[in-house]
Structure 1
Amino acid sequence: MKQEEAFYIGYITKTKGLKGELQLFFEYDAPDLLDLDVVFVETTGKLVPYFVSAFKLQNNSTGNFYFDDIDHIDKAQPLVKKKVYLPLNKMPDRSDEDFQYTDLKGFVVSDENHGELGEILEVNEYPQQFVATISYQGKEVLFPLNEDMIVEIDEDQKTMLVELPDGLIDLYLSN
């Protein structure tokens, strides 16, 4: 499977015990909706399938997993810190009203003071907030996505109007 045929759900944080149990940290916001019978682990640029023999989801965005053929800590250890994916056809359906910050990738951003800034290239989730990345005047500019800064989102036109804090754009342009 190729990476463009899959979506990212999280990464393996550590091994647990000696019998090959692995802990997966979910960056996907609703892990309980995922079909987790087979997961794909990114290893040397390729997505390798692992069949899940048992798992238990925790309340802290993690889950403990056993994979078929991984029955010892020595077999599990090489998977630590690897990204985990699922095929696109296993992505849970979302209702049209379920708009998320990650859906803003590709939207054109305009600021009330600076005018059009450019297209959102990436939306990353950090603790406490989502951060958008754009390219403005040849510089990479990052800004938080929150209700205080977003003035308007037009889903049909794929545009977003923001009011960024004074000096934020200048900070990036001065470097």
Structure 2
Amino acid sequence: MDLAESFYIGYISKTRGLKGEVQLFFEFDDYKVLELDVLYLEIDCKLVPFFVDSFKLHSNSTAYLFLEDVDHVDKAQPLVRKKVYQPNSKKPERHPDDFRITDLKGYTVYDQRYGELGEIIEVHEYPQQYVAVVPYKFNELMFPLNDELIVSVDKENKKLEVDLPEGLVDVYS
């Protein structure tokens, strides 16, 4: 299996204890419905399968798990900070009307004052709000994604119209 046949779910964030337990931090929204029988870790640009012996999900986007043949902290430590994937065949289906703010990644942003700003390359989730990142004039333009700034969302054409505060775009020029 290669990266094109898989989807990213998170990364191994740390070890726990001496028996090889690791913490998986999920960056995939629907992590609670994932089948966690086999995980693929990116090691040396290849996806290596690891079978899950046991796991415990937590509400803070993490899970603690034991992987087959990883029975000591010395075997678990090299897995820390490795990206974790699953096959596309295991990706949960979402209802077409289930639109999330993170789905704006890939949308082209149009500001009412400045016109086209560029494509959203990342949506960061912070405790207080979501923030869009758009490459703009050799910088990364960042702005909050909230109801006050979003004018319209065109799902069909993947366009986001915003009314950014006066001066915000000028900071990145």
Give the TM-score taking structure 1 as reference length.
Answer: 0.90
In the alignment, the residues of structure 2 paired with residue 28 and residue 160 of structure 1 have an alpha-carbon distance, to the nearest angstrom, of 23
Output aligned runs, 1:50-129, within 5 Å. 50-129=50-129
Alpha carbon RMSD of aligned pairs, Å?
1.6
2:137–2:172 Cα contact (<8 Å) kept: no
In the alignment, what sits opposite 2:160? 160
Q: Secondary structure at the match of 1:97?
A: coil
Cα–Cα, structure 1 residues 31 and 106, in superposed 2: closer, same or farther, change >3 Å?
closer
Q: Spell out, residue by residue over 1:13-49, the C-alpha distance to the aligned partner (whole angstroms, 9 max, x if none).
A: 2111111111111122222100111111122222211
Q: What is the CA distance between 1:120 and its match in structure 2?
A: 2.0
Q: Does residue 39 of structure 2 align to residue 44 of structure 1? A: no
Q: Does residue 12 of structure 2 align to residue 12 of structure 1? A: yes
Q: Spell out, residue by residue over 1:46-79, the C-alpha distance to the aligned partner (whole angstroms, 9 max, x if none).
A: 2211111111111222111011111111101111
In the alignment, what sits opposite 1:133? 133
Matching residue's letter, 1:151:
V
In the alignment, what sits opposite 2:150? 150
In the alignment, the residues of structure 1 paired with residue 5 and residue 14 of structure 2 have an alpha-carbon distance, to the nearest angstrom, of 26
Matching residue's letter, 1:93:
E
Matching residue's letter, 2:6:
A
Aligned residue pairs total 173
2:20–2:72 Cα contact (<8 Å) kept: yes
Matching residue's letter, 1:117:
L
Matching residue's letter, 1:51:
F
Q: Does residue 172 of structure 2 align to residue 172 of structure 1? A: yes
Q: Secondary structure at the match of 1:157?
A: coil
In the alignment, the residues of structure 2 paired with residue 74 and residue 61 of structure 1 have an alpha-carbon distance, to the nearest angstrom, of 25
Q: Which runs of 5+ in 2 are unaligned?
A: none
State percent identity of aligned pairs.
56
